[in-house]
A and B are shown apart, each in its own frame.
Chain A
Amino acid sequence: MDLTTIVILALTGALLLLSVIKDRRKTLAALRVAYKGFVRLLPSILAIILVVGMIIGFVPAKWIAQVIGKNSGALGVAIASLLGAVLFIPVIIAFPLARSMLDMGAGIMATAAFITTLTMVGFVFLPLEIKELGRKFAIARNALSFVAAVVIAVVIGVIIR
């Protein structure tokens, strides 16, 4: 268990305790909301976990680095941002991967685009986002995040050579 998890659990426990002390009935209502939300999202989250496992197991990091590394210029940026949007990789793997991308000859722009779409755009959890926040919200956010990724990439490319 890492530090973040411990902090989250401790914080949640403290808040819950405080809530119980202040008002038992309200706490019960809060737990009911929590339970309903949890049950509602569980199947989607289990599906995401399976997809992430399959992506990391069957889409080798080396292949991603090669594909993005080989294509420089605008095409590289396009491929990188698309791959970043479709894939879902935890940052612990993403940053070393970005490093090896640069080492294999990827442009700084493509690397930045990849990291930005990887974190901000999520095709894997788009259905979940639609369910929670609505179709319009989810599509607008993802589409414009994609555009933002390209803008950020260009800014980085201009500033760092």
Chain B
Amino acid sequence: MSGEVDSGANGRKKSFRERIRWDYTILFLLIPAFVILVVVFPEKGGLARHVAWEYFKEMAMILPAVFIIMGLVSVWVERGFIVRFLGEGSGVKGVALSFILGSIPMGPLYVAFPLAAVLLKKGAKVANIIIFLSAWACIKLPAELMEFQFLGWKFTLVRYVATLVVVVALSEVIGRFFFKQGYEVPDEALDGVEG
């Protein structure tokens, strides 16, 4: 499998569009926009600056840890292990495990993408990874406590159960109809990770 991936990455010349680093382009457009907004609207800008700074501090703490965990998983966890517990034949146990893994509170959703990519590359089922990401996004114990506090137990409980059911159904739909022929992690996403 990794052989095919490599030939895709190196075999042809990249077009101009592919060579632009969109992430840097966007970042370097956002920085002046942010600065101008903050200078022109000092009051609202102050809040924006405060929020961005708090967020930055939180990310500076969590991100390196998340990537180290990703690195450790990619090196230590055998493909066979992931296939057995999260792969095609993992069944209900795979669903339950995906939910539990996703519910560990580790920060915002986009932090989970690299972890999801590693698990997929090592043979996890697409449906299970959708469950993992959905649980990561909206089933977090600290968040549930806040929801309970602000919106009441009935709302929280009904939303929780409805989300559980809909997410499992949804993941099956995506897995069956969109990835019938299997799934490949993008070439550039995981340099140096063995499948």
Chain B 100-121 interface mask (CB, 8 Å, partner A; 1/0): 0000011111100110110010
Counting CB contacts under 8 A, is A108 at the interface? Answer: yes
The answer to whether B159 touches A152 (Cβ under 8 A) is yes
Is A72 part of the binding interface, using a Cβ–Cβ cutoff of 8 Å? no
| Contact in complex: B44, A52 (CB < 8 Å) | no
Interface contact B65-A50, CB-CB below 8 Å: no
Partner of A99, one of B31, B151, B188: B151
State whether B30 touches A51 (Cβ < 8 A): yes
Give B residues with C-beta under 8 Å from A: 21-24, 26-27, 30-31, 33-34, 37, 41, 44-53, 55-56, 58-59, 61-72, 74-76, 105-110, 113-114, 116-117, 120, 126, 130, 133-134, 137-138, 140, 142-143, 146-147, 149-151, 154-155, 158-159, 162-163, 166-167, 170, 173-174, 178-179, 183-186, 188-193
Mostly helix, strand, loop or mixed at chain A's interface? Answer: helix
Nearest-CB residue, chain A, relative to B25:
A43
- Interface SS of chain B: helix, strand, loop or mixed? helix
C-alpha gap A99/B47 in the complex (Å): 22
Asked if residues A95 and B159 are in contact (CB atoms below 8 Å), the reply is no
**CB-based contact B158/A136 at 8 Å:** no
- A131 and B189 form a contact (CB under 8 A): yes
Q: Are A16 and B72 in contact (CB under 8 A)?
A: yes
Asked if residues A46 and B65 are in contact (CB atoms below 8 Å), the reply is no
Q: Given A16-B68, A34-B68, A134-B186: A112 and B22 within 8 A (CB)?
A: no
